[in-house]
Amino acid sequence: RKEVEQDPGPFNVPEGATVAFNCTYSNSASQSFFWYRQDCRKEPKLLMSVYSSGNEDGRFTAQLNRASQYISLLIRDSKLSDSATYLCVVNMRGTALIFGKGTTLSVSS
Amino acid sequence: GAGVSQSPSNKVTEKGKDVELRCDPISGHTALYWYRQRLGQGLEFLIYFQGNSAPDKSGLPSDRFSAERTGESVSTLTIQRTQQEDSAVYLCASNTGGGFEQYFGPGTRLTVT
Give residue B71's pLDDT band: very low, low, confident or very high (50, 70, 90): confident
Residue A53: what pLDDT?
86
Mean predicted confidence (pLDDT) in A99-107: 94
What residue of A is the nearest CA neighbor of B96? A95
Set of chain B residues whose Cβ sits within 8 Å of the Cβ of A87: 42-43
How high does pLDDT run on average in chain A?
A: 91
Query: What is residue A94's predicted lDDT score, i.e. its pLDDT?
Result: 54
Q: Buried b / exposed e across B35-63, counting CB within 10 Å, b at 16+?
A: bbbeeeebbbbbbbbbeeeebbeebbeee
Average pLDDT of every residue of chain B: 93
Say if the Cβ atoms of A94 and B31 lie within 8 Å: no
pLDDT at residue B65 is higher than 60: yes
Provide, rounded to the nearest whole percent, the portion of chain A with pLDDT above 90: 75
**What are A16-64's pLDDT values in tens digits?**
999 999 999 998 888 889 999 999 989 999 999 998 888 999 999 999 9
pLDDT of A93 reads 56
Q: Higher model confidence: residue B49 or residue A97? A: B49
Distance (Å) from the alpha carbon of B100 to chain A's nearest alpha carbon: 8
Measured between CA atoms, the residue of chain A closest to residue B39 is: A41
Contacts of A102 in chain B (CB under 8 A): 42
Nearest CB neighbour to A96, from listed B48, B91, B106: B48
Residue B16, pLDDT above cutoff 70: yes
- For residue A49, the chain B residues in CB contact (below 8 A) are 101
Q: In this complex, is the C-beta atom of A60 within 8 Å of any C-beta atom belonging to chain B?
A: no
